[in-house]
Amino acid sequence: MANSTATKSFHPRWKKAVALTVAGLCSSCSQPQPMIAGPADPNSETVFTLAVAPDSVSGCILADSSMTRPMTLTVTNDSAVLLTSGGIHYSLTRVAPNVYAGGYYVKIRADLAVRPKRLAVSTQDGTCKWAATAP
């Protein structure tokens, strides 16, 4: 255990420097947001209705009833949230101008830069895939 006189011997500026260094290291532990050059994306709301992709395995049809209901993608301040009809929110990160991606077990990618707009959802292993377009 440290001697109390040893800690008192540190100059107050050193204590402040150590505290700032630790705070800086701790703040860098959070996941960084991608920095994409260019102007901010416009705020928008797009409704997609997914359909199972033909190259999905046959068992994917079991999840089809929840996946093929309308889903709303809302873009605000260069981030996006996909809201399913069942009330599940997926936060998506801007990966390119007007392109958002995210997900853990389910991988989601929304491309609003193309016409028609596209939404692709797949399981992490890629065996089940759904896709949608919107005007």
pLDDT at 59: 83
Q: Which residue has the higher pLDDT, 26 or 82?
A: 82
SS3 content of the chain, % helix, strand, coil (to 5): 25, 40, 40
The range of the structural domain enclosing residue 127 comes to: 44-134
> Is 4 among the domain residues?
no
Strand ranges (E), 1-88: 44-49, 51-52, 70-76, 79-83
- Least confident range from 18-22, 26-30, 114-118: namely 26-30
Q: pLDDT confidence of 123, banded at 50, 70, 90?
A: very high
- Residue that has been written with the tokens 């102007």 in this structure: 39
> Is 57 among the domain residues?
yes
> Is 121 among the domain residues?
yes
Instruction: Tally the domains of the chain.
Output: 1
Tens digit of each residue's pLDDT (9 = 90 or more) over 21-36: 444 433 333 333 555 6
Closest Cα partner for 46 from 70, 77, 73? 73
